Amino acid sequence: MSRKFFVGGNWKMNGDKASLGELIKTLNSAKLDPNTEVVCGAPSIYLEFARSKLDPKIGVAAQNCYKVKGGAFTGEISPAMIKDVGVHWVILGHSERRWVFGETDELIGQKCAHALENGLGVIACIGEKLDEREAGITEKVINAQTKHFADNIKDWSKVVLAYEPVWAIGTGKTASPAQAQDVHDKLRQWVKANVSEAVANSVRIIYGGSVTGGTCKELGGMKDVDGFLVGGAALKPEFVDIINAKQ
């Protein structure tokens, strides 16, 4: 089954209207591969700005959301609010949410269920830390994280799995193409065994971990790497090269 290449840009807590406006101009004027789906994850305060300025063919994602529609949850935003400003994606379970802000697998699963129920697409992040990789438990860790997502997903058509080895985020280290392919293949086999063969064949599994213009083509050539979730490089002109990695 042919899976449409997917490239997400996670801007994280970076930028202002001036710098993001320049980035948006670069993306809008660039020749982007029409066969690649592109989604930019903006800080919540700039979601409406990003959506109003970006070319409609480029999607926008919130970087997080909460598990209910509304209420006394200071600082949080809901899927309903995200949709209300014209945004249709959310990033959930990112390693920074897990390891900096202490979000549990259970909470992330609940947020995923609520986001999907309210019509958002979900970029569902999983990944192991360096000590877990060195201990040889990468597969155990990512399978457990994936299970919490799977337990909360009824319709996989709006889900993209993002494998992000924590040891390769913002460190300049990148999993080798063979390492990335190995984990993606095992993830797909887990989905086949625990969800269905049809979902395993159709779900896009993207790689995130210091992806750059220099590493993207070889990584993108791997059989089970269906795109990227890009951090630092998503704020630079080379993001265009990453989007076009499959050309």
Residues annotated as catalytic (active site), given as ranges: 94, 164
What SS3 class is residue 45? helix
CA 124: distance to chain centroid? 6
Q: Which residues make beta-bridge pairs with 163?
A: 126, 207
Q: What are phi and psi of 232, to 5 degrees?
A: -55, -40
Instruction: Read off the DSSP letter of residue 68.
Output: S
Tokens of 103: 């979000």
Beta strands in the chain (DSSP E): 5-10, 36-42, 59-62, 89-92, 121-126, 159-163, 204-207, 227-230
Pairing relation of β-strands 204-207 and 5-10? unpaired
Percent of residues in the chain assigned helix, strand, coil, to nearest 5: 45, 15, 40
